[in-house]
A and B are shown apart, each in its own frame.
Chain A
Amino acid sequence: MKRMLSTLVIVLVVALMVLPQVPATAQQKVQITLWHMEQPPHRVERIQTLIDEFNAANPDIEVKQEPQNWGEIYTKAPAAVAAGNAPELLFAIPDFTPILKDLGTVLPVEDFVAELDAAHKFYPAAVAQYTYEGHTWAVPLYNMAHSLWYRKSVFEAAGVEVPTTWDEWLAVTEKLTTGEQYGIGLPANKNLYTDQTVYDLMINAGADEIYNPDGSLRFNNPQTVEAYDMYSKLYKFSPPDSPNWAWGEAEACFANRSCASILQFTVITTYDTQAEGDPADLGVAPIPYKEGVENPGTIAYVNAVMILTDDPAKVEAAKKFISFILEPENYGRFLNMEPGLFLPVTEDGAVAESFWNDPLVVKYKEQVEIMVKNSTGGRLFGFTGGNTFPSIAAISAQNLLAQTLQMIVIDGMSPADAVAEGQRLMEEAIED
């Protein structure tokens, strides 16, 4: 009995000495939670692969992902910040960042971006979308840019060349519109897709600036009116249900050959899996511009990651993870979580073997090269020429570019009147 008791005491003493070590070891790990909006399972899986590799290489850090969706994040993230349970890392698009920045939770990262720039060389346009009020608010991660997608054989059959100017574009689109085929698929829904396609035309009309340098709006100008006028002319050659379109309908219209061309970030996956999948017939080109416009281009969304903590250990761990993602051997795999859609924002990323050796990228190399080229000169409404003001978030969230278009193509207003009303709505949206 005595021996049993002494054995028990020894076991307890050893247990007391060992047990506290277990949580202590766990506590030593810096926990980083990443919220992103790349919900499709294959994207989540690819991100998890990279996280697992990072966690294995950094035993003192534990990164975990919690996929969110774009529909909810605009309300969920501020609520999480208010409740004190925001993630340490949160993916962003340019017009989402000001919302969290205004809550005072986003860590300025200009020094960190400068370090990364020295190592990887960011495209300046990528950093510009997150730099305002004296700071850079997020680290650019990947780009998405619109292009004009078409079928080469359809253009050849119609005897038309790929248009480069607006006059050519209108003529080609009209010629491509036949009984069962629409020359172009252009949305007119009040959503982000329409905002994007409208802005494509605004850029190419020389109306890419929404703000004056003093922060006042300059949306109502002759160039913007010209852009809307051109859109409404092209829209006549678009399917009649396009007022209800999102990205999926446009891709489907292109895939089933009802639309001879569309403006889209990419059609590669849909074209490869649901259409012919013949890379030799898939055409991609820069968006045509109005004659005389000096700086034509396309809309480009640089996606980035914000750091939402000021805990030094967590900040350090978060930076380490971001650096890991941007390393060329990892970066290509990160971008190819959706091959042919996500484009590099760094110069060494653009030539990384890990990017170009994905089977789908290999197959559509010619198209991806043109996409990358288009993306480097991309712009985003409200984030151009250094005239960036956080109030763009309110304009963007209400899809006022698209609403202005609906006034023309649905309500029958003149482009000039609609643009004037659009500016009034924007002023109303940004008032305090």
Chain B
Amino acid sequence: MRNTTPHTARARLWANFRSEWLSINTLMGYAFVLPLLLWLAATILYPLLVSIQISVQNIKFIGTPGEYVGLDNYQRVLSSPYFHAALKNSAIWVVANALVQTVLAFAAALILKQQFVGNRIARIWIILSWVVPTVVVVIIWRWLLSASGGIVNYSLQALGIIDKPMGFFSTGNTAFISVILINSWRWFPFNAVILLAALQRIPAELYEAAAVDGANVVQKFRFITLPSLQPVLFVMGLIGTLLSFNVFDVIWLLTGGGPSRATTTLPVLIYDTAFKKYRLSQAAAMSVLTGIILLVFAALFIRFLSPASEDSDER
């Protein structure tokens, strides 16, 4: 065994540090990443810090001064029944959208994977609802569902399902279901395209081998398709949930959070508090709390639902 003096140990440490952290490759890597880090700091970190700063003041209107009030806004928000109701609505919104969109996306992807005449056109056609601007989607659906002249009410009456026109946005439940379905209609093609790409990467040999072993359709789906799609489903689940949670435009434009707050999710409540109630600091406190909720969700999702990586499989 060689004798190591403190001096040589320090020298070795320094050499290691230099080779790992100050090598050309490492520095080049940081140089490439730096602009993105600066951009993220300017567009996410700075607004976040400003939000936290505003949330501990009593600012009402944007651009007006406020005084430091500590955690008063957080206390008020956490004890507000409107915040609790909006949080509950957001949870229902996310789960319902995830379910509806996943089922529709899976169905669409499986159909589009089949070879049939017009397959290529169908693949392009299906993304139309996703390409159309939100405001157009909203106008289309408002008129389709209108009780005075809307085609949906007309068709339901003609088929004898209802005897007089119904207001899809008239009661809390029907409004919430309508908004969820419209949002899902808008977003499921995006998920379908991602799933289709993933489905096409599953080797056909796996299905052939399974067929030789006597596996039926359900078993093929359960033991080949689903595990193969797990990484894609994980990413879709994480990003989709975060995106879905933050949806504001469709809800605001369709119902404005009503009727009687039935479709008020957290983003709608935050907007309403900041720009209708003119309680900017309370809205900032809600934003910070929402950010924390989403951060915790993302951490738990990654911790418990992350598919085993290839590295860990090898180990």
Interface residues of A (CB under 8 A from B): 74-75, 78-79, 81-83, 99, 103, 182, 185, 188-191, 239-244, 249, 252-253, 256, 258-259, 394, 397-399, 403, 406-407, 410-411, 429
A410 CB contact (under 8 Å) in B142, B145, B260, B276:
B260
Q: Give the nearest-CB partner of B58 in chain A.
A: A432
Whether B278 contacts A394 by the Cβ 8 Å rule is yes
Interfacial chain B residues near A399, Cβ < 8 Å: 276
Contacting pair A410 B172 (CB below 8 A): yes
Q: Name the distance in Å between A191's Cβ and chain B's nearest Cβ.
A: 7
**CB atoms of B256 and A79 under 8 A apart:** no
5 pairs, CB–CB < 8 Å, chain A vs chain B: A74-B275, A188-B259, A241-B169, A242-B147, A252-B146
- CB contacts (< 8 Å) of A189 on chain B: these are 256, 258-259
Q: In the complex the two chains form, is B61's CB within 8 Å of A75's CB? A: yes
Q: Are B149 and A258 in contact (CB under 8 A)?
A: yes
B199 at the interface (CB under 8 A from A): no
Is the pair B260, A239 in contact by a Cβ cutoff of 8 Å? no
Nearest 5 Cβ contacts at the A-B interface: A82-B63, A240-B167, A258-B148, A244-B169, A241-B167
Complex CA distance for A3 and B277, rounded to whole angstroms: 75
Cβ contacts under 8 Å, A239 to chain B:
147-148, 165, 167
Extra contacts, 8 of them, besides A239-B148, A240-B164 (Cβ < 8 A), are: A78-B64, A189-B259, A240-B167, A244-B170, A244-B175, A394-B278, A397-B277, A407-B260
Q: Is the interface of A mostly helix, strand, loop or mixed?
A: helix
Tell me, yes or no, whether B168 is within 8 Å of chain A by CB: yes
Contacting pair B167 A244 (CB below 8 A): yes
Instruction: Please give, as numbers and ranges, the residues of chain B lying within 8 Å of A397 by CB-CB distance.
Output: 276-278
Collect the chain A residues with CB atoms within 8 Å of residue B167's CB.
239-244
Give the nearest-CB partner of B148 in chain A. A258
In the bound complex, do residue A78 and residue B62 qualify as a contact, i.e. CB atoms below 8 Å apart?
A: yes
Closest to B166 in A: A240
Show the binding face of B for A, using Cβ within 8 Å.
Answer: 61-64, 142, 145-150, 164-172, 175, 254-260, 275-278
In the complex, what residue of chain A is closest to B163 when comparing beta carbons? A179
Residue with the greatest number of chain A CB neighbours at <10 A, chosen from B61, B62, B148, B256:
B148
Chain B residue nearest to A411 in the complex (CB): B260
The answer on a CB contact under 8 Å between A241 and B62 is: no
Task: Return A287 CB to nearest CB of chain B, in Å.
Answer: 22
Main secondary structure of the interface of B (DSSP, over half): loop
Q: Which residues of B contact A243 (CB under 8 A)?
A: 167, 169-170, 175, 258-259
Contact present for B148 and A83 (CB under 8 Å): no
For the complex formed, measure the closest distance between the CB of B195 and the CB atoms of chain A, giving whole angstroms. Answer: 33
Task: Take A103-B64, A249-B146, A397-B278 as given contacts and tell me if A241 and B170 are in contact as well, using a CB distance cutoff of 8 Å.
Answer: yes
Q: Is the CB of A75 within 8 A of B258?
A: no
- Contact indicator B148/A241 (Cβ below 8 Å): yes
Q: How many Å lie between the Cα of A127 and that of B12 in the bound state?
A: 85
Partner of B148, one of A103, A256, A394, A410: A256
* Contacting residues, chain A, for B170 (C-beta < 8 A): 240-244, 410
Q: Is the CB of A83 within 8 A of B63?
A: yes
Residues on the A chain within 8 Å of B169, using CB = 241, 243-244
**Which residues on A sit within 8 Å (CB–CB) of B149?**
252, 256, 258
B102 to chain A, nearest CB (A): 28
Quick one: which of B63, B142, B172, B175 contacts A78, CB cutoff 8 A? B63
B142 touches A244 (CB 8 A): yes
Distance of A122 Cα from B186 Cα, bound (Å):
52
Shortest A414–chain B CB gap in Å is: 15
In the complex, chain B residues whose CB is within 8 Å of the CB of A99: 61
Q: Are B277 and A253 in contact (CB under 8 A)?
A: no
Determine if B275 and A75 form an interchain contact, defined as CB atoms under 8 angstroms apart.
yes
User: Are B171 and A410 in contact, CB atoms less than 8 angstroms apart?
Assistant: yes
What is the bound-complex CA distance between A191 and B252, given in angstroms?
Answer: 12
Which residues of chain B are near A188, meaning CB under 8 Å? 259
In the complex, what distance in Å separates the CA atom of A81 from the CA atom of B166? 46
Collect the chain A residues with CB atoms within 8 Å of residue B168's CB: 241
Q: For A394, what are the chain B residues with a Cβ–Cβ distance below 8 Å?
A: 277-278
B259: which of A82, A182, A252, A406 is its contact (CB, 8 Å)?
A406
Residue of B nearest to A250 (CB): B148
User: Shortest CB–CB separation between residue A258 and chain B, in angstroms?
Assistant: 3
A78-B61 contact in complex given A398-B277, A410-B171, C-beta closer than 8 Å: yes
B256: nearest chain-A partner, CB-CB: A190
Contacts of B277 in A (CB 8 A): 394, 397-398, 429
Distance in Å from the Cβ of A162 to the closest Cβ of chain B? 22
